[in-house]
């Protein structure tokens, strides 16, 4: 059943079966969620974990998708959504003592990254508090 949902993002990129556990990848994903494209790029370059390199390549792919799509202003892009879901586990057997075998689980991740454009005139949701000026 197809749904007609309006897209509110400029571009997106998917990576399936990434050979990194979702828990470790989510720690890096939290660092770049909501940041501008330049800030996210700088943050990922400075991180020294495997998942940072994977997310950096995914960020570059989403940027290339935005350029291909013809987004007007690439400087206004930011990471609006990044999801890290669990993929299938790869099961391998490891020989142990006395003819036994242990199952070694290699966890994989599915990563979804979406870029959106910042609007120029955002209205703040803050309400102004009225101050009382009473005469005493």
CA pair distance 35, 4, nearest whole angstrom: 29
Confidence of residue 132 (pLDDT cuts 50, 70, 90): low
54 belongs to a structural domain: yes
Angle at 62 between CA 59 and CA 73, to 5 degrees: 105
Given 3-state DSSP classes, what are the helix, strand and coil percentages for the chain, each rounded to the nearest 5? Answer: 35, 30, 35
Domain assignment present for residue 132? The answer is no
Q: Is residue 110 assigned to a domain?
A: yes
CATH of the domain at 96: 3.90.470.10
Q: What pLDDT, on the 0 to 100 scale, is given for residue 52?
A: 96
Calculate what percentage of the chain has a pLDDT beyond 70: 82
Indicate whether 136 belongs to any domain. no
Residue 81 lies in a domain: yes
Q: How many domains does the chain have?
A: 1
Taking alpha carbons only, the member of 87, 125, 122 closest to residue 107 is 87
pTM of the predicted protein model: 0.78
Spatial neighbors of 132 by CB under 8 A, at least 6 apart, are: none
Tens-digit pLDDT profile for residues 8-40: 788 999 999 999 999 999 999 999 999 999 999
Q: Residue 19's domain spans which residues?
A: 11-117
Residue 126 lies in a domain: no
């Amino acid at each position: 059943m197809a749904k007609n949902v309006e897209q509110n993002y400029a571009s997106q990129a998917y990576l399936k079966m990434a050979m990194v556990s979702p828990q470790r990848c989510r720690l890096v994903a939290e660092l770049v969620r909501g940041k501008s494209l330049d800030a996210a790029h700088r943050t990922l370059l400075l991180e020294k974990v495997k998942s940072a390199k994977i997310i950096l390549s995914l960020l570059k792919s989403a940027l290339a998708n935005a350029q291909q799509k013809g987004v007007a202003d690439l400087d206004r892009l930011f990471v609006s959504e990044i999801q890290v879901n669990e993929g299938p586990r790869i099961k391998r057997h490891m020989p142990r003592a006395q003819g036994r075998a242990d199952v070694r689980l290699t966890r994989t991740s599915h990563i979804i990254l979406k870029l959106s454009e910042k609007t120029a005139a955002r209205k703040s949701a803050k309400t102004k508090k009225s101050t009382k000026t009473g005469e005493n």
